[in-house]
Structure 1
Amino acid sequence: MKNLKIYNILSLFVMASIFLISFGSCSDDDAQLAPLKIDSVSKAMSSSKPVNPAHNDSLTSVGYAGVMYIIKGSGFSGLQKIYFNGKESYFNPALVTDNTIFVTIDQNTPFENVSNELKLVTKGGTVVYPFKINAPAPVISRASTAFASPGDIITLYGDNFVSIKSVKFNNTEAEIEGTPTRYEMRVKVPADFGTYGVVVVETEFGVSKPSSIGVKYLFYGDSLPSWAYDWGGSYDAQSTENVSRGTYSIKKVAEPWSGFFMNSDLVLDTADYQLLKMSVYSTESTKIFITINSETGNTSKGTTVTLIPGTWNNISIPISDLHPESLDGGTFNNVFIQEFSNIPLTSDNIIYIDDIGFL
């Protein structure tokens, strides 16, 4: 793949050289007489082998950030600036003749509430050309919750949520609540949603990569999978004081280095999962240790997670960080959580734990 990218880059420069030779044969006197104008814009393609300039004449009036285009016209000698919708794009002077410009549209070029114009500034003047920048495909960066239930209203965060065609959970279309912005939208989880789903946003400009929500196996939702024990404090497995989702959460009054162990009658195989997910709220603690190994005192068989006190922390831990190679047959049936901040804590320090599951 790396060699292919290098080949494509080299192809573009070879192509550019061909254009420059073709259009750069004018004399200096001719260049001075040429009027400043833009005749066309086309996307720079490099798929042909060898590169054929004729394959780069796909004219367009619409562009995308991060893509190279060819601007054709005249009077480009002495080019100083190139703007798309008021955002300057860098150009290589070696790829400019009086008749041709190769330029890649800047990645941060705006596409909302803009002029839809391409502007060239040269020593001899300025020219403006109608040219629209389309939004890139939408991107989902995260959801407001790691878990969801049918009917829940959740917020999706990301970018390019414009001209939305649909939002789907496992191929079921979700209802959009309110008016989305470019960076976030609120949606209602469909009635047929189970414990796990793939969320996809489609706009007029493309489809997002799938983003997951929920888990394949819910270890703790509102009740313990089987039995539990703790030390260094106390716990309530069905507390209503502070809940991330559902009715209950686990309330652990946590002294320094105190622990909480949960066991399940169901044996799970690490090969079936990629992530351990949970939501944790601490009043003071800044770090916890987590393992799925019954050797709870061996910290080399688990991992630590940093917490932000005073808010729900939606945690996703790769199964590989929990060292499945240390488990007999890669199977397990427990989750252990230990206070690990190594800081002074008051007797009122509480860790709330909710929605433990495996994806």
Structure 2
Amino acid sequence: MKNIKIVSLAACMSWMLSLMFFTSCSSDDSNEEYKGGPVIESVMPSGYNEDGSLKPLTPVTIGDPKNYYVIHGKGFLTTKKVYFNDFDTYFRPTFVTDTDIIILIDEDTPYANSSNKLKVVTDKGTALFDFEIAPPVPTLTQFYPVNATAGSEITITGKYFLNPVVTLPKTADLPEVPVTVVSSTLEKIVIKVPENADLRYLAVSNISGTATSAYGIGTAIFDDVAYYDLGFPDWNNHKVVTDGTAEQGLTHLEKEMDAWGNLQGNWGWYDKLQPFAGIRVAVKAKVDGKVRLVFNGDWSNSPILNVTTKWQTFTLPWSAFSSSDRVQNISFQNLTANADGDGQKNTFYIDNIGFILK
């Protein structure tokens, strides 16, 4: 079933202006209807930019889904079908003239492994035109391992990785650095870590835009493994889970805690904190509740996190803690309670413990 679109007033006005422009510029002074098969001469954006200005009537060969375009040519009055990448695209017959079709590229139009063709089918024939559908701007969900070193491999996950370009983005002090892509699919990229990548973000670009990672290389305290002796001893009776539901990487921690119960971390030591602004941690729970992040053994003055049944990443500045000259211990205490304030059992899932870059 066709997905019928409602054309906005702005798009209609732009379309009318487009048709007026092309009518006035037409080389056919006789104004007689073209009698032959359809011919596509160009495709141009139609509508308004975010600042309210009209989009320029400039021919393009790449189109963005959910945007309007004018297909310009001749022989369109008997148009029956329009296809982008063989996807049957709805158009309003009232928005068709002999020389122009105004059309919205459907958001479900395929963009990968496609024909890269625009096709207009009329009673008098079919016209083809080279036209590419741009993917959405990429989304970068995560990468692992976080603390990968030069020459090793990192896996990046997300969406819309069509012909991806990966870089270490430019900073105030460092230039952009290209990153070697070992392999890629639309949702996964494997890269080789370049030299001097520590404490740098990753960026993935396609023809539509760029996505940058939420955290930097070398910032993990726990991703799939623990670093700096800041792990969690077995006597906690917690689970190390690898079931495809981790917030980051392949593994996360799970602990069923009685009322006021806890997951206690090892006593390690890391004090090279100058590049960092605080701590991040991803947490979810079996039921909505609260958990205290116990930092460096301070059980009375540490932040309390409101946790839901979905992963949330909490970013906590050093000012949230009573001591911030080192990371010595990270533990978690269940503070879930009912309306009367009575403590309740809850299960917590913990992942992606690391540093926030300044």
If the length of structure 2 is used for normalisation, what is the TM-score? 0.63
> Residue deviations 1:130-167, cap 9 Å, x none?
22214336513322537332154332123333334444
Alpha-carbon RMSD across the aligned residues, in angstroms, is 5.2
Aligned counterpart for 1:174 among listed residues 171, 175, 179: 179
Paired residue for 2:163?
A: 163
Q: Which runs of 5+ in 2 are unaligned?
A: 1-7, 171-175, 324-328, 337-342
Structure 2 CA distance for partners of 1:147 and 1:296, relative to 1, 3 Å:
same
Structure 2 CA distance for partners of 1:181 and 1:141, relative to 1, 3 Å:
same
Structure 2 CA distance for partners of 1:71 and 1:200, relative to 1, 3 Å:
same
Structure 2 CA distance for partners of 1:357 and 1:62, relative to 1, 3 Å:
closer
Paired residue for 1:5?
A: none
Structure 2 CA distance for partners of 1:224 and 1:306, relative to 1, 3 Å:
farther
Query: Residue 212 in 1 paired to residue 217 in 2?
Result: no
Aligned counterpart for 2:313 among listed residues 309, 316, 321: 316
Paired residue for 2:340?
A: none
Paired residue for 1:358?
A: 355
Q: Is the 8 A contact 1:91 1:103 kept in 2?
A: yes
2: CA distance, partners of 1:19 / 1:39: 16
Q: Is the 8 A contact 1:137 1:208 kept in 2?
A: no
1: CA distance, partners of 2:68 / 2:138: 22
Report matched runs for 1:31-42 at 5 Å: 31=33, 34-42=35-43
> Residue deviations 1:168-218, cap 9 Å, x none?
3774433333x3222212123334233x43111244x25422113348866
Equivalent position amino acid for 2:204 in 1:
V
Structure 2 CA distance for partners of 1:357 and 1:305, relative to 1, 3 Å:
farther
Q: Which has the higher strand share?
A: 1
Give percent identity, aligned residues only.
19
Q: Is the 8 A contact 1:148 1:189 kept in 2?
A: no
Structure 2 CA distance for partners of 1:356 and 1:161, relative to 1, 3 Å:
closer
Aligned counterpart for 1:337 among listed residues 328, 332, 335: 332
2: CA distance, partners of 1:115 / 1:130: 11
1: CA distance, partners of 2:307 / 2:128: 56
Structure 2 CA distance for partners of 1:182 and 1:97, relative to 1, 3 Å:
same
1: CA distance, partners of 2:45 / 2:169: 37
2: CA distance, partners of 1:288 / 1:339: 8
Q: Is the 8 A contact 1:80 1:121 kept in 2?
A: yes
> Residue deviations 1:48-67, cap 9 Å, x none?
x99889x51x2334434333
SS at match of 1:15: helix
Paired residue for 1:198?
A: 201
2: CA distance, partners of 1:50 / 1:251: 50
Q: Which has the higher helix share?
A: 1
1: CA distance, partners of 2:53 / 2:309: 52
**How many residues are matched?**
310
> Residue deviations 1:282-333, cap 9 Å, x none?
9xx77874334789689994222548xxxxx8x62254xxxx8xx9x64444
SS at match of 1:65: coil
Structure 2 CA distance for partners of 1:18 and 1:290, relative to 1, 3 Å:
same
Structure 2 CA distance for partners of 1:129 and 1:207, relative to 1, 3 Å:
same
1: CA distance, partners of 2:263 / 2:210: 39
> Residue deviations 1:58-104, cap 9 Å, x none?
23344343332211223322433211111122323342222211112
SS at match of 2:95: strand
1: CA distance, partners of 2:270 / 2:129: 67
2: CA distance, partners of 1:152 / 1:138: 27
Paired residue for 1:140?
A: 139
Q: Is the 8 A contact 1:14 1:51 kept in 2?
A: no
1: CA distance, partners of 2:264 / 2:82: 62
Equivalent position amino acid for 1:86 in 2:
D
Query: Residue 120 in 1 paired to residue 123 in 2?
Result: no
Shift of the alpha carbon at 1:106?
Answer: 2.0
Equivalent position amino acid for 1:129 in 2:
L
If the length of structure 1 is used for normalisation, what is the TM-score? 0.62
2: CA distance, partners of 1:50 / 1:185: 37
SS at match of 2:211: coil
Q: Is the 8 A contact 1:242 1:352 kept in 2?
A: no
Report matched runs for 1:1-359 at 5 Å: 11-20=10-19, 23=23, 31=33, 34-44=35-45, 46=48, 55-56=56-57, 58-122=58-122, 124-136=123-135, 139-145=138-144, 147-150=146-149, 151-168=151-168, 171-177=176-182, 179-194=183-198, 196-203=199-206, 205-214=207-216, 221-223=226-228, 234-235=235-236, 257-260=260-263, 272-273=277-278, 276-278=280-282, 289-292=290-293, 301-306=304-309, 316-319=313-316, 330-333=320-323, 335-339=330-334, 356-359=353-356
Shift of the alpha carbon at 1:241?
Answer: 7.9
2: CA distance, partners of 1:153 / 1:288: 37
SS at match of 1:357: strand
1: CA distance, partners of 2:287 / 2:300: 20
Equivalent position amino acid for 1:290 in 2:
V
